[in-house]
């Protein structure tokens, strides 16, 4: 809420009240079927108590933001975000469905209209509400392993069946120090018996203190040949106000130092060769590179300079936009791993097809993409940011096996 003006927040609250007023109007077509006057009054009171309570909470948090302890701010904002979405979206659908039904009720008899129209409208409102509740309280931490095989002619024979676990977008601040939740993901990852664990950024939301205590959890991650990471846009502290430039730099240094504490090698526009019986592949890592307003600190030429002669390279780059802009058709990098999009934490997966509104912003937003002999994999992320839930986009652990193509 810090990034929005008070006027914008006021407009949001006004929209909530207007939508609720329309919902309340149509709700009367349902409550009129209730015989008890006391029950009708109770429903009405509860309806407006929730509305006014939500609007008041949003305004109070915005006005008093600076007085809210920093460590509570994220969870408080996310809770209000979740409440707003779970209230706003079902009511919009309720209004749309019941309006359409009422204005086309000539297809029903008068008796049918009395019962069918309210019933369908009620279902239209409650169904998305339950979906959102499931997304917030269950799906958000239902970790899913996506298995992918990458076949490539330049893969050295000694790296046949190399196992890579790719994770991204932890956003540790959103876990509110609930260590046991992420420990479940760590256990799943370790069961995959990976050769490499590769992390593609957004360790935190903004602050280094969000990582406090997580070293004991993340240090348990095990990989035979190494653990490597790059930074994401949230790791630079750009989404907060700082008392001084030095405070921001100190925060950034603390985030970078955390990787040493959990035995990860942080790649800052640099590369590391991995050797197996005199054959090599390279792990290349760049700082964040995205289209404005995202920063472009990534320097791919600098990062890959020392490993240019190694034919099979794996690039870690947080933002998938980088692949089209500087990697595919511009380099000989075989595999790029990215995150950043979260799959918008909402989408539809049906019969092997997937869709999310994020596709209208990012050309590559989830899953495997390829152009000739170059591959990009975009993970849906392991944590969450903003909306505290996941609808059709479960948190992802990616398991990649490398194969020698004939």
pLDDT (tens digit per residue) in 182-200:
999 999 999 999 999 999 9
Check residue 2 and give its pLDDT: 46
Work out the pLDDT band at 399, boundaries 50, 70, 90: very high
Cβ-contact 364, 320 below 8 angstroms? yes
Mean pLDDT score, 346-352:
86
Would you say residue 111 has pLDDT above 70?
no
Strand ordering across the sheet containing 270-276: 270-276, 279-285, 313-316, 335-338, 374-378, 367-371
Would you say residue 117 has pLDDT above 80?
no
Radius of gyration of the CA atoms of the chain, in A: 25
pLDDT (tens digit per residue) in 250-292:
999 999 999 999 999 999 999 999 999 999 999 999 999 999 9
Please, what sign has the CA dihedral across residues 59, 65, 68, 72? positive
pLDDT (tens digit per residue) in 121-144:
667 677 888 888 899 999 999 999
Mean pLDDT score, 332-357:
93
Mean pLDDT score, 298-311:
97
Work out the pLDDT band at 26, boundaries 50, 70, 90: confident
Check residue 128 and give its pLDDT: 82
Domain ranges of the chain: 6-137, 144-404
Check residue 263 and give its pLDDT: 98
Work out the pLDDT band at 6, boundaries 50, 70, 90: confident
Would you say residue 352 has pLDDT above 90?
no
Mean pLDDT score, 291-312:
96
pLDDT (tens digit per residue) in 200-239:
999 999 999 999 999 999 999 999 999 999 999 999 999 9
270 strand-pairing partners: 285
Q: Report the alpha-carbon distance of residue 59 to residue 74 in Å, rounded.
A: 16
Give the closest residue to 225 by CA, choosing from 199, 265, 194, 200: 194
- The whole-chain average pLDDT of the chain stands at 91
Q: Domain 144-404, what architecture?
A: 4-Layer Sandwich (3.60)
**CA torsion angle for 64, 385, 315, 352 (degrees, to 10)?**
-160
Q: Report the alpha-carbon distance of residue 381 to residue 340 in Å, rounded.
A: 7
The residue ranking higher by pLDDT, 20 or 98, is 20
Q: What residues contact 349, with CB distance under 8 A and at least 6 apart?
A: 392
């Amino acid at each position: 809420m810090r990034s929005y003006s008070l006027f914008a927040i006021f407009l949001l609250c006004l929209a909530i009240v207007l939508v609720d007023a329309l919902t309340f109007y149509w709700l009367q077509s349902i409550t009129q079927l209730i015989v008890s006057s006391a029950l009708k009054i109770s429903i009405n009171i509860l309806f407006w108590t929730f509305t006014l309570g939500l609007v008041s909470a949003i305004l109070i948090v915005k006005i008093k933001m600076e007085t809210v302890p920093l460590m509570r701010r994220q969870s408080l904002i996310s809770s209000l975000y979740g409440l707003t979405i779970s209230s706003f979206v079902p009511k919009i659908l309720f209004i749309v469905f019941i309006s359409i039904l009422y204005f086309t009720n000539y297809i029903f008899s008068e008796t049918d209209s009395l019962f069918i129209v309210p019933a369908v409208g009620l279902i239209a409102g409650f169904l998305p509400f339950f979906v959102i509740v499931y997304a917030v309280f269950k799906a958000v931490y239902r970790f899913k392993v996506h298995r992918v095989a990458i076949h490539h002619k330049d893969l050295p024979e000694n790296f046949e069946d190399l196992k890579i676990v790719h994770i991204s977008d932890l956003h540790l601040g959103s876990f509110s120090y609930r260590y046991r939740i992420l420990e479940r993901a760590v256990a799943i990852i370790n069961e995959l018996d990976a050769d490499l664990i590769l992390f593609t950024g957004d360790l935190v939301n903004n602050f280094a203190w969000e990582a406090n205590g997580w070293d004991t959890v993340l240090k348990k991650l095990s990989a035979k040949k190494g653990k490597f990471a790059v930074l994401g846009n949230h790791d630079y502290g750009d989404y907060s106000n700082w008392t001084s430039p030095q405070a921001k730099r100190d925060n950034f240094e603390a985030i970078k130092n955390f990787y040493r504490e959990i035995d990860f090698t942080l790649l800052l526009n640099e590369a590391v060769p991995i050797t197996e019986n005199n054959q090599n592949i390279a792990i290349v890592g760049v700082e964040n590179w995205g289209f404005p307003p995202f920063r472009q600190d990534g320097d791919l030429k600098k990062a890959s300079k020392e490993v240019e002669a190694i034919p099979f390279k794996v690039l870690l780059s947080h933002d998938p936009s980088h692949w089209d802009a500087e990697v595919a058709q511009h380099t000989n990098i075989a595999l790029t791993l990215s995150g950043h999009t979260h799959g918008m934490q909402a989408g539809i997966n049906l019969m092997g097809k997937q869709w999310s509104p994020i596709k209208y912003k990012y050309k590559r937003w989830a899953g495997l993409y390829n152009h000739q002999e170059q591959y990009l994999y975009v993970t849906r992320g392991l944590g969450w940011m903003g909306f505290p839930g996941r609808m059709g986009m479960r948190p992802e652990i990616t398991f990649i096996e490398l194969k020698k193509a004939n």
